[in-house]
Amino acid sequence: MTTPDRQPPTPDPSASEFQDRVHRSSGGIAAGVLLLAIILWLGIDAVVKGRGHTPWLALAAMLLLIPLVIAFTMRPAVFANDERLRIRNPFRVIVLPWGTVAALRSGYSNEAITNAGTKYQLWAVPVSLRGRKKAARQQSRATAGPGGRGRLGSFSPQPPAASSEPPRAGADKAMDDLRELAETHLNSERAQGEPTVRWAYEVIGPAVAGAVLLGILLAVG
């Protein structure tokens, strides 16, 4: 008795081709967690122990502050794959097919510029001048060669081997990665389309409600 041949499942090419590369700010996430802990600690304490309008003021303040803290610290992210660049900023989500990206510029902030000249800041990839200075110092030490002196003025017996690539700050490495994707897939058929922008009403709604409620409570006294 023979059994019918079973065809192996066809691999899904999109599983690897369209997997997102995610860039986030670890410092921003850490700051957000700390701020949320402080807000919740103070807010819950005011709700439990407060008198009169104090508990309601605390609830309104938390309703206003918590979405804003999340929006500016934990929410920002940049997702990139073979088709498009998706930028999740505090109050908007911008989707840019690679065919619409004219440049990825780094200055005092990192920005994506479309063919129409519209600029979108990448909140999740903040420029770190301190990181750039640190990378510059590392590169300077690496290129000093055997004649470079140590901290005490003595010659280093075994200088570190120079790496194939100069040191780069974390944000600059992320931008290099995005530029490589943009250059590779600029003319791809899958990477064409129109930019789209969506407002983050899930953040804006609670924050506006908290601001309105806080204003009413303060006005009532």
Q: What are 163-209's pLDDT values in tens digits?
A: 455 556 668 888 999 999 999 999 999 999 999 999 999 999 999 99
pTM of the full structure: 0.75
Q: What is the dihedral of CA 76, 81, 86, 87, to 10 degrees?
A: 40
pLDDT over 90 percentage in the chain: 63
Place of tokens 């690897």: 16
Instruction: Give me the chain's average pLDDT, please.
Output: 81
Rounded to whole angstroms, how far apart are CA atoms 68 and 90?
8
**Cα 72 to chain centroid, rounded:** 10
Q: Is the pLDDT of residue 125 over 80?
A: yes
Measured CA distances, 176 to 46, 128, 153, 168, 173 (Å): 47, 15, 36, 10, 5
Q: What is the mean pLDDT of residues 6-25?
A: 62
Amino acid at 137: R
d(CA 95, CA 80): 10
